[in-house]
Structure 1
């Protein structure tokens, strides 16, 4: 893992970058969401999230340059799980940043938040992402058939997860 690739807390001055990602169809299709987010809505969501204990939002950087976004959502302290989500700017895709970002997020989830399980939902056609998630230790738990409507057709999704006990067994 490159020491120059880091996760840092999402700040208000990152919203312009996040706005760009949220309006990029190449990024948002993999989030199963319409690439349609106003800056005002983004600011409002940012303000509401400031007091939340159920999510953590990060900007992925390399030597200070913004590469993407990482989020942990639905953090449940009783059952000790959260959903992992990631967006890499299309200008920085294909450079191995997603693997590093995912490893950093897993380390944060298991070392800092003391979670038991991290899970994600990925479009079955996104074979590159599935390969990355498997490479860093996630395993498929099941499939959601015709679960998301993307660009005029239904897509299957794969539910993947990693448990804390399995994370600690991975080579570091």
Structure 2
């Protein structure tokens, strides 16, 4: 399938490595961080053993690409291409960073750029989409900077602490990425 090869992608700030059981402790920190849970709308919990098993089996999945975002040897989050639709050459992007020690440092922006460059540069993908909650202005800014365009809104898609929040659907298309890549230094 499209994501059979699990690359290591190296940037100036971060290195993206295929996830494995060695990243399970970082995953546990990620999924238990209250701010991350709010930003991702994650109501459920993941037991440490389940997280370890999840990361141990991602390398076997050729319909998705799960990468740990590393700063030196420190796990600061994950970026994932999933929900692959081969007939329509599209997939979903998901990213999560571990709270305040990773926010606002450019790690997410670079991870997204590396993944988009890899996806559009090595696969026939035409469209990569995502959804982001309307209150997450920081993420929406990062996605727009990376070339994602807002397409629509799912009204009241998340109920968090008794309040309803919209989810904004965004995507980037191969022609958009190609045009943008040619203008970047």
Same fold (TM over 0.5): yes
In 2, Cα distance between the equivalents of 1:47 and 1:60? 16
- 1:15-47 C-alpha deviation (Å, 9 max, x unpaired): 110111011121121211126211122233334
The reply on whether 1:101 has 2:111 as its aligned counterpart is yes
More displaced 10-residue stretch of structure 1: 34-43 or 152-161 = 34-43
For residue 114 of structure 1, give the secondary structure of its aligned residue in structure 2. coil
Partner of residue 155 from structure 1, selected from 145, 150, 165: 165
Residue ranges of structure 2 left out of the alignment (5+ in a row): 1-9
2:83 matches 1:60: no
RMSD (Å) for aligned C-alpha atoms: 1.7
Task: Identify which of 30, 50, 56 aligns with 1:41.
Answer: 50
Q: CA deviation at 1:68?
A: 1.4
Alignment of 1:21-40 (within 5 A): 21-34=30-43, 36-40=45-49
Query: SS where residue 113 of structure 2 aligns?
Result: helix
Answer yes or no: is 1:122 the counterpart of 2:132.
yes
How far the C-alpha of 1:2 sits from its partner, in A, is: 4.7
How many pairs align? 172
Instruction: Judge conservation of contact 1:123–1:156 (CA < 8 Å) in 2.
Output: yes
Q: Secondary structure at the match of 1:79?
A: coil
- The equivalent residue for 1:18 is 27
Indicate the larger mover: 60-69 or 7-16.
60-69
2: CA distance between counterparts of 1:48 and 1:5?
23
Give the direction of change, closer, same or farther, for the CA distance of 1:36–1:93 in structure 2 (3 Å limit). Answer: same
Between the aligned partners of 2:167 and 2:158, the Cα distance in structure 1 is 7
What is the TM-score when the length of structure 2 is the normalising length?
0.86
